[in-house]
Structure formats: structure tokens, C-alpha cells
Structure 1
Amino acid sequence: MVAKETAWTTYWHAANRLDSCIVRPGQQEGDQKAIFGFWREFVKGCPSGGRLLDLATGNGAVALRLVQAAADLGKDVTVNAVDLADIRPESYLTEYSDFANLIAFRGGVDICALPFGDQCFDGAVSQFGFEYAPATSAVAELARVLRSGAPFQLLVHHKEGALVAPNVAQIAEIETLLGSGGLVDCIQQLLAGTSSMDALEGEGRRLLSENNNQLPRITAEIFAAVRQLLTRQDLDLAIRIQGAADMRHRLEAEQERMRQLGHAALSGDEADSLCRLMTDTGLHDVAVQPFHVGSDQALLGWQVTGRR
């Protein structure tokens, strides 16, 4: 079992991208435009010279959007961006160095125990991160660190959203890959000398047959990685064996991450319950509504807004 924070650390390090999977294949431009506009509207309501907090920042996508939007609007803001995972966003922001200098990143931070004083932020945001934390503690900390009247804006997973629905099939796919005698076992046994290429090819044929001669995305990526492991002459056996072990670890981490995502996503009743909790905690003007993106207006998540 991969620990929760380890799953996300593995994901952010391996992803080599700013965002988690928040844009859909073939819809990147429209989805990204809608998401940037969402955060730009938030910055409009923040004071120039303000100090903003990005909760569960990942690789810093929202933090970057905040400072970019502020520059577009002629505002001067700084951002503190935290995440429970061991994040290293600076390595993904090299082409945004002017903006990155306005962001202070900090990994290993639980949003239920923020390392900041009371009423020290002029606004707070989170994109697909706040909902992973225990709600009562996370809301209490959000209320504690915001100055009176300061706004907050959250984008959280929707149970029926476009990012949640594919998880069920992908979790099942990974379970098949990791199962006893499955593809990953075949790879490791081949490299260890306890199985043959025939066994690996047989597993490939079986998977093709079960999927109408069209391999699912993750399985296809595994086969591409296997070809590289087996054909590159510059890799000695020890490196290939380690590569197969790393492949298993990444799949286990991705499986855990997807399970967490499904568990964290909110139904309509759960979104309403979160809003009531916020109001009871002393936050004001709390509202929730679905958030749609793209020309097809796909449901991406819930947008939750309010102020201290």
C-alpha cells in the first residue's frame, strides 16, 4: 500500500507538468482558457499588494495563474503556496522565472495545520486539493488565516465530473496490470531470468483480445516503456530491473491517487454540507455551483466561494 502523501509526491515528480489532469484530451485550449478566467476573476476582487494563499498547490499551476492575472490587471500580489506532498514546482516554472519569484512554495504542509499566523492573508484559493483534507479542520484553518472580509475561491471535484468518471475504469486497468501473473509480473520475471519472452508476448495478446485489439492508455504506455527497457543497448541489466520495479511503484501510486480522488469528490449534498460547515465556522456569503469548461460546457467540478 502506497501512503497517501507518497502517491501524490510520486505523481507530481513524474508528471512533469504544472497541472494535475484537469484538461481533457482534445479540449486543452478551451479548458485552460476557462480555468484561467476563473482565477483571473478571483484576482480582480483582491487588493493590490495583497498576500494570497494557494492550498494544495501541486506543481504550482494556480499560484502561477494568480500572479500572471495580477500582472495583466496591473496589480501587485505575492502568493504562498503549500502542499502536503514533497513538491518541487520551481523545476517546472523555469520559463516563468519573473512570475515564480512572486511565489513562496512549501511542501510537507498539512492544510489542517498551516504554519502561518492568524488573519495574515488577503485571499485564499485551492484547485482540486481542499476536498482531500478533513473538512472541519481545513475549514477552521482557512477561516483562521484569512483577514476579515478576505475572499476565498475553491475548485473541488464533483462526483459526476469529467475528471472523476474515468477513474473507475483506470483503477480496474491498473489492478489487472499489477495482478498476480499480470503484465508487470511478466516484465519483472523476464528481466530476472525466471520467465521467457513468450510469456510476455502471450500476456500482450491476451490483453489485446480482451480489449478488442485496442490497448487501454496505461497498458499501452507500459508496453512502450517495456520496449525501451528491452531494446536500449546502453542500459545494463541492473538498470532494467530497477526500471521495472519503478514501473510497479508508479502504478501503485497512481492507483492510490485515483482512489483518493474518487473518495474526495463531492456529491451535491456533500457540497451543500461543506457550505453549511463554512458558514457555521464564521465564513460569509458562502456559495456553491457547478463549474463547466469548454465549448461543450463539460462539468469539471464545484466552485465554492465566500469571504471571511
Structure 2
Amino acid sequence: MSGPEQNKDRAWGEYWADQARRGGKGTGCLPEAMHSIARAQQQCWSGFADALPHNADVLDLATGNGILLHWLKAMRPDLSLTGIDLAPQLPPPPAGCRTMPSTRMENIPLGDASFDAIVSQFGFEYSDVAATIGEISRLLRDGGTVGLLLHRGDGPILEHNIARREAIRWVLEEQSLFEALRRRMDKGAEGRARAIEHAESVARQGAHIFGQQSPAWEISEAARQTLALGAKDNVEGITRTFAVIAQRAGEEMDRLGDLEDACATADNRAALLALFAEAGFEAGETQAISAGAEERPFADFLPFCKTR
């Protein structure tokens, strides 16, 4: 595996590990305020789940924090649910479900014809889709179904996250925040005071440009608090904390870059449909999913049935 791919895997692994430490709470890549998006997702999956056979075996690709497993289990307690994800550490799955960390969609160590349905919510499009479709075909029983909830490049989720990535880029690259703070810290107690003032200034600018609670404000405020609360002679400790904050911010930028690439893959709809057709699948009607009648669609739901 190449260096960039390892970095991406580590970024996602750290993300879901953090979710695990918090008990699996969180909204994944969704904006925190967009609870209506989650409700629309659940409604979408409710119709799919209703049509599954009794005691169906279901595989969730790129399960992440397991939110889809939780929803499906609540909708259909009889389902046998398995989730896979490339992250090495995942939050606990719902009772009676199992998850398989460190497992890529393109190479799933499970037996042929093991599942009645395979699903993915904002995960399939992150993969090498041709290889993943091959695995779906291998793992799915004849007559089995596939449900894919895919990102849209013209939707509010990508828009929100591109703005978030720009705020991170601004504070890390344009402002070079941590380099500027370290230079000031090298000048003793007076430098420490100037570093705090600089972090406060960048936080104010970030809030003005990108909004209060934006990453530009969050990162700068975290740096300010690190300086203000750290022991006056503990420069090394403060520097280590800066490195952790910068690393996590950089990993988020990597994840948001992955999201943009995934949207481009999902938007190349003709290519996806052709790959599924070649693998012996019949496509159902695509459904645009929105958070309300007046809202832009944030995703498309694509159903398939294995015909050969």
C-alpha cells in the first residue's frame, strides 16, 4: 500500500477510534446541525428493510460508526447484520450484530453467497468501485438485493465540508498558526504572552471569516487554551499538544478530500450502472433523498437486484 493510502487509512482509523472512545456518538461526515438529513436517511432505509426476507443476512459496507446497523436492527430485529470497515478500531456494534475492522470492501474475507442483501451508506463510493462490485456479486445470493446511499456532488453535505476544509487550510497553511506560535514561545515569558495574543487574534479572524465554532476558530482557540493552561516552563509539552492538534486537523483535511473524490465517483452514474449491469445486476429506480420538500437532495439511493 502506498504512503498516501496509508495516511488516508490512518486518518479514517483515528476518526472512528475517536467515535469508539465516545461510545459511537456523532454524525459521521454530516453537519452536526443537519438532524433532518439523518431522519431522511432513516426513512429511505425503512422502505428497503421492509422488503427484506425474514431473518435475512445483511452486510453493511464501510460501516463506520455503525449507525446503519443500529437503524436496521431497530427496524427489523430479525435481521442478521454484519458491518465491515477498513478502520482498525470501531465503536461497539448493536447487540446481536458483528463488525469486522481492518477489512476493505475490495477484499472481504467471507464466503461466497453469504448474504441476502448488501448495503452501504456513504461508503461504497470511497472504494475501487469495480473491485467492490465484484465482491458484492460474489457475496450475494441469487435474487439478493443491494441498497446504496450515495453522496451527491451538488448537495449540501459536500458544500458544508468543503467550507470546513477551507477553514482548516486557512488556519494551518495561510496563517501558519503553530509555526507562528512556536516562534513567539522561543522568546520566554514575554513570548508566551505574545503567543496567546496571536492565537486570540487568529481565533477572532477565523470566527469573522468562517463563523463562530468553525474549524478556524476551534483550532486557534484550542491553541490559545493550550498556551494559557500549560505550565509556564513546559514548552515541550505545549509543542507536543500543538503537534497533536495539527495532525488531527490535517487528517480531517484528508478525509474531506476523500469526500470530494467520493462525490465525483458517485456522480459518474453511467459508469456505475454499467459496472453493475456487467456483473449481473438489474438497477431499480434511483431515488433522490432530501431533508425536506424545499431542500436540495443531499444523496441518491440506488437499489439493485442480482439476476445472475
Root-mean-square deviation (Å): 2.7
Show CA shifts across 1:237-258 (max 9, x none): 3543322111011011000000
| Residue pair 1:54, 1:79 contacting (<8 A) in 2 also | yes
Note if contact 1:178-1:185 (Cα within 8 Å) is conserved in structure 2: no
Q: Secondary structure at the residue paired with 1:148? A: strand
Given that residues 163 and 300 in structure 1 are in contact (C-alpha distance below 8 angstroms), is that contact kept between their aligned partners in structure 2?
yes
Q: Contact 2:125/2:150 (CA < 8 Å) preserved in 1?
A: yes
1:197 pairs with one of 193, 211, 215: 193
CA distance, structure 1, for counterparts of residue 260 and residue 301 of structure 2: 17
Q: Secondary structure at the match of 2:59?
A: strand
Secondary structure in structure 2 of the residue aligned to 1:149: strand
Matching of residues 1-308 of structure 1 within 5 Å: 3-15=7-19, 16=22, 17-23=25-31, 25=33, 27-28=34-35, 30-71=36-77, 76-90=78-92, 100-179=94-173, 182-189=176-183, 195-202=191-198, 204-205=200-201, 208-209=204-205, 212=208, 214=211, 217-232=214-229, 237=234, 238-266=236-264, 270-294=268-292, 296-308=294-306
TM-score with structure 2 setting the length: 0.85
Q: Aligned partners of 2:76, 2:29: CA distance in 1, in Å?
A: 25
1:108-139 deviations in Å (ceiling 9; x for gaps): 10101111111110111101110011111011
Deviations 1:82-102 (A, max 9, x none): 001123211xx6xxxxxx222
Report deviation, 1:267: 7.2
Verify the 8 A CA contact 2:144 2:305 in the aligned structure 1.
yes
The separation in 1 between residues aligned to 2:260 and 2:54, in whole angstroms, is: 37
- Give the distance between the partners of 2:64 and 2:148, measured in 1 at CA: 14
Offset of residue 306 of structure 1: 0.8
Match of residue 96 from structure 1? none
Count of aligned residue pairs for this structure pair: 294
Alpha-carbon deviation of 1:170?
2.5
Identity score, percent: 24
Contact 1:183 1:200 in 2 (8 A): no
2: CA distance between counterparts of 1:236 and 1:106?
45
What TM-score, normalized to structure 1? Answer: 0.85
The question of whether the paired residues in 1 share the 8 Å contact of 2:62 and 2:84 is answered with yes
1:200 CA drift (Å): 4.7
Alpha carbons 1:19, 1:58 under 8 Å: kept: no
Q: Which runs of 5+ in 1 are unaligned?
A: 94-99
Is the 1:53–1:80 Cα contact (8 Å) retained in structure 2?
A: yes
SS in 2 for 1:151: strand
SS in 2 for 1:278: helix
